Amino acid sequence: MSAASDLKPLAIVAGDGDLPKLLAEECQRSGRDYVLVLFAGFSPEWTKGLPVIEAEFEKPARMFKALKKRGFDHVTFAGAMQRPQLRPLKFDWKFLRLAPSLLPAMKAGDDVTLRTITAIFQSEGIEVIGAHDVLATLLAPSGVQTVAKLSKADWIDIKRGFDIAEASGRLDVGQGAVVAQGICLAVESIQGTDAMLRFVAETGEAFRLDKKGAKGVLCKLPKPGQDWRTDLPSIGPATMEAAAQAGLAGVAVQAGGVLVLGLEQTIAKADELGLFLVGVGREGAAAGPEGSGS
């Protein structure tokens, strides 16, 4: 890690989840100047007393002016954020200028939307960086991380799950899939991973071919061609709890391409629940254990 004086001031556009808090804590630990950008009345308890810029989706000019005035020329996006219900009567002059490109993008997939927003920040002279550029230990390591190990059937499900998630991601739909005994039980969409796992918990058992066979795997990986500076898929302890409630055997993620929000805690939760967690290279999914780095 560079000395604090070498670290550029960082604006964290904060959404739901643990990631914004982890990045703020890392800035505090490293002595990096930072500010949280909070939109539309979003103000979680942990942000109290921390440096904040309050922003409105309809008034980007005010936000950019505040960032530049305070010397923040690097930004990272962290946490889940719902697409806003925009109020046209509140649009400022900058939003009106951005509308011809931004509004159509918001009606497309997440990747298109985020690429457009990234380009807007860059055009304002604000460099967009990934959360893993702030905290490198967020990226999933390679290999089996847990006490629970994988069967040959689990590896078959992982290959199928990676193939399905990749195909879905190519269409800018989602970053994950659940497969059990070769059957796709769910594909992630705009509702996100938690909603997908709740659906599997409610419906998945009926579709398993063999009650004693493979219990199923949650697979997560980036979309093909995705800009890794924004919206990398993530997991954490709560993901393990949701996977257990869905009756799955474990979670497989692309090594180095998925954020693990609290690696030690996530592994501990998986071990507590008897689940496996494995990081595997995208090409290694087809090779089974030999491609996992385990």
Residues 93-126: tens digit of each pLDDT:
999 999 999 999 988 878 889 999 999 999 999 9
Strands of the sheet containing 183-187, edge to edge, are 143-144, 276-280, 250-254, 217-220, 176-180, 183-187
The domain spans of the chain are 4-134, 139-291
Residue 186 has pLDDT above 90, yes or no: yes
The pLDDT value recorded for residue 214 is: 87
Average pLDDT value for residue range 175-179: 96
Average pLDDT value for residue range 158-175: 95
Residues 141-157: tens digit of each pLDDT:
999 999 999 999 999 99
Residues 258-294: tens digit of each pLDDT:
999 999 999 999 999 999 999 998 665 555 665 555 5
Hey, how many other C-beta atoms are within 10 angstroms of the C-beta on 202? Answer: 11
The pLDDT value recorded for residue 1 is: 41
Average pLDDT value for residue range 173-197: 94
Say which CATH architecture domain 139-291 belongs to: 3-Layer(aba) Sandwich (3.40)
Look-up of token digits 């199923």: 216
Q: Which residues contact 167 (CB under 8 A, 6 or more apart)?
A: none
Q: Which residues contact 153 (CB under 8 A, 6 or more apart)?
A: 181, 213, 214
CATH 3.40.50.20 correct for 4-134: yes
| pTM of the shown model | 0.87
Residues 280 and 293 sit within 8 Å (Cβ to Cβ): yes
Measured in residues, the chain has a length of 294
Q: What dihedral do alpha carbons 140, 142, 144, 145 form, nearest 10°?
A: -40
